[in-house]
Chain A
């Protein structure tokens, strides 16, 4: 059974870097692509970016200059680092497994999400 569990500091100060981890069980991270999606308070889902098995990343243009997504195959984890955060980055952050071709995508497993609050 594939399970994803996001974790992070909960509270981050403005201008600092938000670091989140997605721990995966039941699926080797090196064999699939992984994505981060967030939901700001009172809003819908927003795609952040994904990382492929090769380590190649694709990011939402809105985040491109601040974002880094990585894989730790030894711990079977996916990471997200978002720098220079503001209150607008306060959200629940989800990780999800992504299956895709150029014409087809499928976010088949999701974590429950972790709340990250940006506040001084």
Chain B
């Protein structure tokens, strides 16, 4: 059981917008910033959001966005493309017993 809770799967059609949620608590998301990673099995995970809503260089600004409210965070992917099909994970610092770094269980995006 992961400390951060994500839906196991989401799906969308090309061009659509989807959101993936990440629910935590005051010991993690409520206090600290959130990372989002894209992982295609067999490849290196890729950082797509850090600091709740910052994109590293090379991540399309018009397609990937992050937000946070209270103890939950969300990743939005607009203009879905087939290459977006991957597993998505959130992560944050945590002050609890499982910490200090915790990941979500991951969400499989099917396009």
User: Is A94 in the interface zone, CB < 8 Å from B?
Assistant: yes
Closest B-chain residue to A98, C-beta based? B101
Distance A112 CA – B35 CA, assembled complex (angstroms): 19
Q: Contacts A44-B2, A61-B98, A108-B47 hold; do A103 and B104 have CB atoms under 8 A apart?
A: no
- Nearest chain A CB to B46 CB, angstrom units: 7
Total of A-B residue pairs, C-beta within 8 Å: 72
Return the CB mask of A91-120 against B: 1 if under 8 Å, else 0. 000101000101111111011110000000
Inter-subunit contact B106/A45 (CB<8 Å): yes
- Number of A residues, CB within 8 Å of B: 27
Interface residues of A in 37-63 (CB under 8 A from B): 37, 43-47, 50, 58, 60-62
**A37 cross-chain contacts in B, Cβ below 8 A:** 103
- Number of B residues, CB within 8 Å of A: 30
Inter-subunit contact B44/A110 (CB<8 Å): yes
**A43 cross-chain contacts in B, Cβ below 8 A:** 105
Inter-subunit contact A112/B101 (CB<8 Å): no
Q: Contacts A44-B104, A50-B101, A61-B98 hold; do A103 and B33 have CB atoms under 8 A apart?
A: yes
Interface residues of B in 21-78 (CB under 8 A from A): 31-33, 35, 37, 39, 42-47, 50-51, 56
- 9 A-B contacts (beta carbon < 8 Å): A44-B87, A45-B37, A45-B39, A45-B106, A47-B103, A50-B101, A104-B51, A105-B91, A105-B92
State the 6 A-B residue pairs at the shortest beta-carbon distance, nearest first: A44-B106, A47-B101, A110-B44, A106-B50, A44-B105, A45-B103
